[in-house]
Amino acid sequence: MAAVTETTIHPAFEKLRSHRIGTLNLEVEEYRHKKTGARHLHLAADNDENVFFVALRTFPMDSTGVAHILEHTALCGSERYPVRDPFFMMIRRSLNTFMNAFTSSDWTAYPFASMNRKDFDNLLQVYLDSVFFSRLDPLDFAQEGHRLEFDKPDDPKSDLVYKGVVYNEMKGAMSAPTSQLWQNLTSHLFPTTTYHFNSGGEPDHIVDLSYDDLVKFYKHHYHPSNAIFATYGNIPAREHHEKFEELALKRFDRLDIELPVRDEKRLFAPIRVEQGYAVSEGEDTANKTHIVMGWLLGHSFDLQENLEGQLLSAVLLENSASPLMRALETTDIGHAPSPMCGLEDSNREMTFVCGIEG
């Protein structure tokens, strides 16, 4: 694999570091866009399957699902591609090996992969234009977010009901007791930060989101100064930089974006919370109790603390011979260990959870 020299670095970027990982047969290269501050991590490998994603820090401070709805709406047409759903058109017509978009509690990412160079370049154009120059049509917001429709479309005298892709998706997701339990637990573990809220959206709160709120969130978060690009494969970093600069970055200046996620405050004593959840009419409520306990731990990005958390979780819960798992499986106060048992390390600070159900 050829070494990256100063003459092969695109003038719009500066190289920060590189590191060889022999066991994976790849070179990790980190760059920064001089004008906007956007970062690029390139995993140079002798592999024809090239991968791209752009991720942005998205910190919603309510449960309207603004980040989730924006992820959907951003893919519904852009400046260069002002057509209905270019994303889904490319899914049908592209040679991609992977293509999706994700919303997490504190980030949103748009990844794809392809083994065909022309197809990769086409997808890159669609993705960069959708992320940084999205149309955000109000009608797309109504389709993806929420709108009012007649319960019976051909009967204007029928009741008005809420509809929407994300609204309907989250109604289904939040109907599961374990989803409600997790959201309730994290809202008390994280009382003051973005993790207190449901980034996917609570159905009762999604309908409070306005189109203007969506546009404001987009303008504040979807900027190269708040973005990180990552690529993998045998396309050199410089060629990626040429595309990034030409298709998007040259049109932006650096923006000072304040999006802090601070450590959560610690409690002086345990708190106890009891909350009910809905069941179907006439459904038996026996053996439907969930009892869980959660502890806030250290930083997930601290490799030492993360390793300690993973090791502790494995020792306590990995199988039926593990002491905590054995206690949960044999206790008389429940029927089975909670599916939430284990270490959650996707947030800034890790959470360890154990409990029973039944």
Rg of the chain in Å (alpha carbons): 23
Strand pairing report for 13-21 and 26-33: antiparallel
Spatial contact of 107 and 56, defined as CB atoms under 8 Å apart = yes
> How many Cβ atoms are within 10 Å of 312's Cβ, its own excluded?
14
Is 71 a catalytic site residue?
yes
Kindly tell me the sign of the dihedral angle through the C-alpha atoms of 155, 159, 164, 169: negative
> How many Cβ atoms are within 10 Å of 222's Cβ, its own excluded?
21
In the set 27, 29, 71, 349, the catalytic residue is 71
- Using CB atoms within 10 A of its CB, is residue 344 exposed (0-12), middle (13-18) or buried (19+)? buried
Residues 6+ apart with CB under 8 A from 239: none
Strand pairing report for 39-45 and 227-233: parallel
To the nearest 10°, the Cα dihedral for 130, 134, 138, 139?
A: -30
- How many Å apart are CA 340 and CA 185, to the nearest integer? 11
Catalogue the active-site residues: 71
